[in-house]
A and B are shown apart, each in its own frame.
Chain A
Amino acid sequence: MAASKKLLTPPPPPKAKSWVEPPLINLKPVNWFFDVNRAMSLWPITFGLACCAIEMMSASMARFDIARFGAEVFRPSARQADLMMVTGTVTKKMAPVLTRLYEQMPAPKYVMACGNCAISGGPFKFEGQYGVVEGVDQLIPVDVYVPGCPPRPEAILEGVFKIQEIITGHRFWPEPREMA
């Protein structure tokens, strides 16, 4: 009885300002079960910055249908989302908004940098530029980089697969013939 109570009561929060609670029942098969569920129901935040967002919309529509892989529920609130696709140019004006949204997302959270602008500044990286953050990884940690200008919807789907692989350690979908 005492042992199960110890298992089910979360430990008191540590002194640090932010922390990740350890799993409620820390058993490998249980964690795997939760991880697979999490990977198959990624909720991206509705967050488009530039033309890559058009490709994100295309990926979510009928032709490419991101719903087949469980990531179709675009949430308008950061507090309900666990995947941020940074689709487009991150300007210095937008940087505080982006970091705030990232901080509002509950952990575990994942970030996909879509397109060359989000990866490195892309075509806007030149000497004397004054408005663009050269790579979103200067602001927030990035899990998956999807190159392209803009990336095709298939590439965005492939990025989602990669995040599922990060979460579960397993790729669930067959590799396209051209890639294999």
Chain B
Amino acid sequence: MSDPEKWLANWRAAGAWSLSRHDLAKEGLLASAFLPTKAILNCAKELKEANFSLLDLSALETQEGFVVTYHFDSLNEPGRLAFRALVPHKKPHLPSLYDVFQGAEWHERETADFFGLIFDQNPNLIPLLLADDHYGPPPLRKNPADLAPLKKLGLLGSFEILDPDFGALIGEDSQKESQS
């Protein structure tokens, strides 16, 4: 079993906004974290060096912005990890993982298709599944009235908030460690 504490410590050092511990049997994850967008690339590199593979990359629209989730699985031992990034609606830019995991290119193109996110260093950010002449807003964007707050989505497991601004954004107290 991969050691989640080691990775949680790594992410804490990388400036994570929040850290979560999950029940592998129930949620399929050992640990996850919200990372600032500028830390994503380095954390992915660390995981790559520890022989992790990128399982998938997907987005979810919430009231606070897009939650982009990166799932990783170890090729050596069981145990999945994930980290997430919160991207604001107004400026949906993210770094591309293409330099670390080449296969991320396709996932990023798909996410860009459906949510209109922009992956900055992706070398080939053209529509993957949509037609080239697709007209209109990205198809999986929701009405602002239909969006759910991030807190209600059950992404966080048992979590601790490290960044007070992030805590204020999702409406959680950053001081105490809480159970959701």
Contacts and interface: CB of A to CB of B under 8 A. Distances in A.
A131 B131 CA distance: 8
Contacts of A54: none
Contacts of A130: 130, 134, 136, 139
A27 B137 CA distance: 58
Contacts of B134: 92, 130
Interface string B126-147: 0001110010100100000000
Q: How large is the interface on A (under 10, 10 to 19, 20 to 34, 35 or more residues)?
A: under 10
A131 B129 CA distance: 9
Nearest to A91: B131
A93 interface: yes
A95 interface: yes
Interface in B105-160: 129-131, 134, 136, 139
Nearest to A128: B139
Interface in A100-143: 130-131
Interface residues of B, number: 6
Nearest to B137: A130
Contact of A93 (B129, B136, B139): B129
Contacts of A93: 129-131
A132 to B, nearest CB: 11
Interface string A76-108: 000000000000000111010000000000000
Interface string B57-69: 0000000000000
Nearest to A130: B139
Contacts of A131: 129-131, 139
Nearest to A133: B131
A93 B130 CA distance: 6
Contacts of B139: 130-131
Nearest to B138: A130
A88 B84 CA distance: 37
Contacts of B129: 93, 131
Interface in B12-50: none
A93 B132 CA distance: 7
A91 B129 CA distance: 9
Contacts of A92: 130-131, 134
Contacts of B130: 92-93, 130-131
Contacts of B136: 130
A175 to B, nearest CB: 42
Nearest to B131: A92
A125 to B, nearest CB: 15
A130 B139 CA distance: 7
A72 B135 CA distance: 41
B79 to A, nearest CB: 36
A-B interface, 5 closest residue pairs, ranked by CB to CB distance from nearest:
A92-B131, A130-B139, A93-B131, A93-B129, A131-B130
16 contacts: A91-B131, A92-B130, A92-B131, A92-B134, A93-B129, A93-B130, A93-B131, A95-B131, A130-B130, A130-B134, A130-B136, A130-B139, A131-B129, A131-B130, A131-B131, A131-B139
Given A95-B131, A130-B134, A131-B139, 13 more contacts: A91-B131, A92-B130, A92-B131, A92-B134, A93-B129, A93-B130, A93-B131, A130-B130, A130-B136, A130-B139, A131-B129, A131-B130, A131-B131
